[in-house]
Chains A and B, each alone.
Chain A
Amino acid sequence: MTSSSKTLTAPAVVVTNLVKQFGRFAALRGVSAEFAPSRLYAILGDNGAGKTTLLRGLAGLTPPTRGNISMLGTTNLRSVCGQLGYMAHPSLLYDEMSGMENLGYFARLYDVNDKDRRCADVIRAVKLDPSLTRPVGQYSQGMRQRMSLARALLNDPKILLLDEPFSNVDVRSAREMVSLLAGLRDSGKTIFVVTHQASLLEGAADEFVWMEAGQIVSRTPELRPAETRLETR
């Protein structure tokens, strides 16, 4: 095997025996998994299953109590943070600034070249208008979600971590977001989507990862079996 083909097949993310405790509460209880590159993973589970904690751990925001996270071949997450895109449940945007002003600032943080053009491009990619001058605080919740996704895409990341990207988004816009994500996956990005709206990702996600009580309990290529299993409990 050549080194280049080895690189291509190496997992994008490896988590090993990941434990995260908040005081006496264990949000993650020994999660171990490998995630291949260029795939779209839907992370599903009930509230409190550990989905957001896992995502925040991958983003480097919540350091694990025990265990390791390796991303793009390194356990030094700080060294690859420029290749991550993170969208949280809150917007991570300044309410008093317009979309372009927000993205212009974040583009500086990532040292994005030709930042005005890049900002306009990602805003258009999420079906918003870059010329909107009103502050983000006056956007509808759905528009804010899409602007938040635009922020996560700004640095053209290799790995996208999205926490509830479809919440409060109408079905048509959510489907547009899903097709955008599928396109990004096809262009080589590895995408993790934490969601309660799994059906939106049916046909787009490569794998459905089910979490329960801080552990990954199943990984399925189709939504149906796991969803059925959950519904019959």
Chain B
Amino acid sequence: MSSVVGLTRATLAKDLRLEWRSKDAINSMLFFSLLVVVIFSFSFDPTAEESRQIAGGLVWVAFLFAAVVALNQTWAREMRNQVLDAYRVSPAPPNALFLAKVIGNFIFVTVLQALMTPLFIVFYNLRALGPAYQLPIVAVLGTWALVVNGTFFAAMSLRTRSREIMLPLLLFPISIPALLAMVEATGAILTGEFSAKFWIVLLAAYDVVFTIASLFLFGFVLQAE
């Protein structure tokens, strides 16, 4: 167990260092999200009430698409110079690599959210009418749901010829329950019309199930040709 924790930390530190130097993932995610915010704000001119109704969907779809960019980058880095083979021939447990990638992607997407949320608030004139303290909970659970599945399916599509296309094809359908929960919970908090608790619990259950399943299956994905 301690070796998994130690190797996860070492791999995470390595990934953060690589991202700090290249800024591949964060730059592309930022530009993508920024474009979504600006284009949607020009396309629609919603009132504050309408904004509250649609913001949940808009925010999470923007983060989902932006996360896909980061998810592709995270494994592309391992394919350059076939570095992933160096991990595969080592005695290091596959789960340490997977957890490090998930936590790394979680950090990248969280940084993106921290930077983009003020812009969403300004452009869409948002103010929560429900319990605002639940928003960070939804953000954490929703982001984890995106990155845990995304990291797993990005690894699965790694050796396919058109992995940039393959990842959304695999990820989006399986993320529908999580996405629905995120959108509904965010909408509920912003409008204050109904309780978000059911959706938060659903999101938490989704996270637990898919984290365990991904951890269990990742070894097979890593060792596959």
The answer to whether the Cβ of B197 comes within 8 Å of any Cβ in the partner chain is no
Closest chain B CB from A65 CB (angstroms): 11
B22 CB contacts on chain A under 8 angstroms? 96
Q: Is the CB of A96 within 8 A of B81?
A: no
Q: Is the CB of B91 within 8 A of A93?
A: no
In-complex Cβ contact of B17 among A63, A91, A101 (8 A): A101
A111 to B90, CA, bound (A): 10
A90 to B7, CA, bound (A): 24
A61 CB contacts on chain B under 8 angstroms? 85, 88-89
The A180-217 residues at the B interface (CB cut-off 8 A) are none
Contact mask B77-103 → A, CB, 8 Å, 1/0?
100111101111111100000000000
A96 to B76, CA, bound (A): 14
Contact mask A58-82 → B, CB, 8 Å, 1/0?
0111110000000000000010011
Closest chain B CB from A105 CB (angstroms): 5
Closest chain A CB from B96 CB (angstroms): 9
Q: Is the CB of A90 within 8 A of B91?
A: no
Please classify the interface of chain A as helix (H, G, I), strand (E, B), loop, or mixed, using the class held by over half of its residues. Answer: loop
Contact mask A74-115 → B, CB, 8 Å, 1/0?
000010011010101011111111000100011011110000
The answer to whether the Cβ of A151 comes within 8 Å of any Cβ in the partner chain is yes
Q: Is the CB of A106 within 8 A of B86?
A: yes
A-B contact count (CB 8 A): 73
A110 CB contacts on chain B under 8 angstroms? 90-92
The B1-46 residues at the A interface (CB cut-off 8 A) are 3, 6-7, 10-11, 14, 17-18, 21-22
A63-B225 contact given A93-B81, A97-B18, A105-B14, CB 8 Å threshold:
yes
Q: Is the CB of A105 within 8 A of B81?
A: no
B11 CB contacts on chain A under 8 angstroms? 105
Q: Is the CB of B81 within 8 A of A92?
A: yes
A101 CB contacts on chain B under 8 angstroms? 17
A88-B85 contact given A94-B14, A96-B21, CB 8 Å threshold:
yes
- 30 cross-chain CB contacts under 8 A: A61-B89, A63-B223, A78-B91, A81-B89, A81-B91, A88-B82, A92-B82, A92-B83, A92-B85, A94-B14, A94-B77, A94-B81, A95-B80, A95-B81, A96-B17, A97-B14, A97-B17, A97-B21, A105-B11, A105-B14, A106-B86, A108-B6, A108-B10, A109-B87, A109-B90, A109-B91, A109-B92, A110-B92, A135-B21, A151-B86
| 20 additional contacts (CB under 8 A) given A61-B88, A82-B90, A110-B90 | A61-B85, A63-B225, A78-B91, A81-B89, A84-B89, A86-B89, A94-B18, A96-B22, A97-B14, A105-B14, A106-B90, A108-B10, A108-B92, A109-B7, A109-B91, A109-B92, A110-B91, A111-B3, A111-B91, A151-B86
Binding site for B on A (CB under 8 A): 59-63, 78, 81-82, 84, 86, 88, 90-97, 101, 105-106, 108-111, 135, 151
